[in-house]
A = this chain, B = another copy of it.
Amino acid sequence: MSTTMQKIGIEKVKHSKIDQVDFDNLSFGSVFTDHMLVCDYKDGAWETPKITPYQPITLDPSSKIFHYGQSIFEGMKAYKDTENKVWLFRPLDNFKRLNISAKRMAIPEIPEEYFMEGLKALVEVDKNWIPQKDGSSLYIRPFVFASGKGFHASPANEYKFLICLAPSGSYFSGKVKVLIEETYSRSANGGVGYAKAGGNYAGQFYPTQLAAEKGYSQVIWTDDNNHEYIEEAGAMNIFVRINDTLITGPTSDRILDGITRKSILQIAEDEGIATEVRKITVTEVVEAAKNGSLKEMFGAGTAAVISPIATFGFRDVDYDLPELKDSFATRLKKRITDIQFNRAEDPFGWRLEV
C-alpha cells in the first residue's frame, strides 16, 4: 500500500481558492476544492493516478463520452469530527460498486489501491475544505468516462478516472412531494439500472420535469412492465413504513444497491425495528395510506442520506403522510450521521479514518 502511495504524484496549487468560499452558505456540488485526482487508461492499462490542481479537461470532439455514453460515477462523503479527524464511510463499498458499474458499461475496472489510496491522498491534500457545519460535508465524486476517439459504436480504448471534491450543504430542503410514475420508466429487466451509469440519470430528467409541472419534486419509479411495483424514489432507494415494519424493495438489475440503503437496513435491525426486503406494490401503499397504516416513506442515498416524503401523488390523488414525533427517518438518520461524523460508536466497522 505504502509503495503505491509514494507513486501518486502530487502537484499542489500555488494559491488556494478556499478564502473565496462562503462555508456557511454552501449549496450542493457547485463549489470545488483546489485539487483533483486524475488517472488515465491507455494501451490496455490504468496509469498511476496523480493529484493535480482542479482544472478543465480537454477532449477530442470524437471522444466517445460525447457519443456513446460510457460513463459511471460514485457518490461519497468525507466528514470531519470535533477533533479534526477525517472520516470516510464504507469507501470500499463504493469502490466495489464502481467496478460493478464499470463491468456493465464495458469500462475497464479500476485497481483497488488506485481508488483507495488515490481517494485518501486527495482528501488529505484538501482536508481544510471539509465543512464542519451541521448538515454539511465534503461530497466526493469519483467518475470514469470514455475519452478514446472515434465514431464507431464500440467501447473506447482510452478512459479517464477522476475524483473531484465539493464542500456541500444539504441536497434537499423542505418537504418532499413525490408522484408515483405510471408512464415513464427508469430501467429495463436486463438493462443497466443497477449501474451508476450517467444515462440512467439523464433519462429521469424529463419525467421529473413533467412531475414538477404538476407540483411534485420527485418521481417514484415503478417497474416498466405493469407499473405495479415501487422501485426507486428519484435517484434514491425507497423505504416504506407500514405500521411498525420498515420495508424496502430487493436489489435487482433494475435497482441500485445503495450503500445508505443497506446501512439503514442494518441499523434498523440493530435498533430492533422490524424490516422486510420484498417487492412493494403500488396498491398496498395506496391502501395503507387510505387505512392509516402507512406511517412513513423516505428516500435513501448518499447525497441526502434520508429524505422523508411528506406527500405522494397517485392518479391525480394526493396522499399526505402523518407528521410523526419519533419517526424512523429521524431516528435512523441521526444514528447513521452520528456514525459518519464519529459522534457515536461504530459497531459495524463502517468508518475509515483518512
Contact = CB atoms under 8 A, between A and B. Distances in A.
A36 B60 CA distance: 12
Interface stretch (A116-124, A198-206, A284-292): A198-206
A62 B163 CA distance: 10
Nearest to A164: B61
B69 A201 contact: yes
A153 B191 contact: no
Given A61-B36, A151-B30, A188-B186, A67 B141 contact: yes
A334 B214 CA distance: 51
Nearest to A221: B190
Contacts of A303: 153
Contacts of A56: 58-61
A300 interface: no
Contact of A188 (B149, B155, B191): B191
Contacts of A71: 65-67, 69, 202
Contact of A155 (B32, B61, B146, B205): B205
Instruction: Tell me how many chains of this kind the complex includes.
Output: 2
Interface centre among A67, A201, A234 (most CB of B within 10 A): A67
A224 interface: yes
Given A151-B166, A185-B191, 8 more contacts: A28-B152, A56-B58, A57-B59, A67-B141, A68-B198, A69-B197, A105-B202, A198-B198
Q: Which 9 A-B pairs have the closest CB atoms?
A: A199-B199, A29-B151, A69-B198, A106-B205, A188-B188, A185-B190, A69-B199, A188-B224, A69-B202
A66 B65 contact: yes
B183 A191 contact: no
Interface of A: 27-30, 32, 36, 54-62, 65-71, 73, 103-106, 139, 141, 143, 145-146, 149-155, 162, 164, 166, 168, 171, 183-192, 197-206, 209, 224-225, 234-235, 303
A36 B186 CA distance: 34
A122 to B, nearest CB: 13
15 contacts: A28-B152, A32-B62, A62-B164, A67-B71, A67-B73, A69-B198, A105-B202, A139-B151, A151-B168, A188-B188, A188-B191, A191-B203, A198-B199, A199-B202, A225-B225
B198 A203 contact: no
Given A71-B202, A104-B206, A202-B199, A29 B184 contact: no
Contacts of A235: 153
A198 B203 CA distance: 11
B69 A224 contact: no
A106 B202 CA distance: 7
A269 to B, nearest CB: 29
Given A61-B164, A202-B69, A206-B105, A224 B189 contact: yes
Given A30-B152, A154-B205, A200 B198 contact: no
